[in-house]
Amino acid sequence: MINAMAVIRRYRAFLILVGVTAGLVAFAPSVGQRALALSKANVVEMLSFLPPIFLLLGLLDAWVDRKTMMAYMGDEAGLRGTLLAFVLGSAAAGPLYAAFPMAGVMMEKGASMRNVFVFIGAWSTTKIPLIMFETATLGFRFMAMRLVFNIAGIFIIAKILEKDLEKHPLPPRTGAS
């Protein structure tokens, strides 16, 4: 039997946003209608990206065994694993929220946390189409400076987060939460 309080607690942020949107529709109809239209557009966009991503995740989960993932992206992979995580993140397509399920599969398969952080950082800031767009619109100098600082930041932040997780490890997962 489903515990109603557990469901409410789990979805409280969503329920709060539904309440705020309902309040907007009631007290500021034009703003509320705009919020509903934006929400609908975001849901449609997400639904267009998520099925192919979940298909790829299923293939990754089925085709790449834990031993292989650990060899190429685990703690012992060193610089090679970090560079692979960077290249995979940079070559990826789609919005950032699509990177998190992929990062979860990487973690389950034995990728090091540093490489997971590098993957997410690269996905968010060093995508190849973004680099090409910036070069065309803002110039090579801007793109190069931003890229150098972003790459340095990705590796520094990944190392800091990895060290922090060594001091304060994550609690074990107990299933879906």
pLDDT average, residue stretch 4-20: 91
Residue pointed to by tokens 């012992």: 76
- Can you give the pLDDT at residue 175? 55
pTM (whole model) above 0.85? no
Residue 173 pLDDT grade (very low, low, confident, very high; cuts 50, 70, 90): low
| Residue 99 token pair | 């990177």
Residue 7 vs residue 86, higher pLDDT: 86
Q: How far apart are CA 152 and CA 168, in angstroms?
A: 24
Percent of the chain residues topping a pLDDT of 70: 97
Whole-number average pLDDT of the chain? 90
- Can you give the pLDDT at residue 52? 83
Residue pointed to by tokens 């934006």: 38
> Which class for 158: exposed (0-12), middle (13-18), buried (19 or more C-beta within 10 A)?
buried
For residue 108, which of 15, 173, 17, 14 has the smallest C-alpha distance?
173
Residue 2 vs residue 52, higher pLDDT: 52
pLDDT average, residue stretch 59-76: 89
> Which class for 138: exposed (0-12), middle (13-18), buried (19 or more C-beta within 10 A)?
exposed
* Residues 85-136 pLDDT 10s: 999 999 887 888 889 999 999 999 999 999 999 999 999 999 888 899 999 9
Q: How far apart are CA 88 and CA 68, in angstroms?
A: 16
Going by C-beta distance under 8 Å and a sequence separation of 6 or more, which residues neighbour residue 131?
143, 147
For residue 88, which of 64, 76, 67 has the smallest C-alpha distance?
64
Domain boundaries, given as residue ranges, for the chain: 1-50, 64-172
- Can you give the pLDDT at residue 177? 46
Residue pointed to by tokens 């990206």: 49
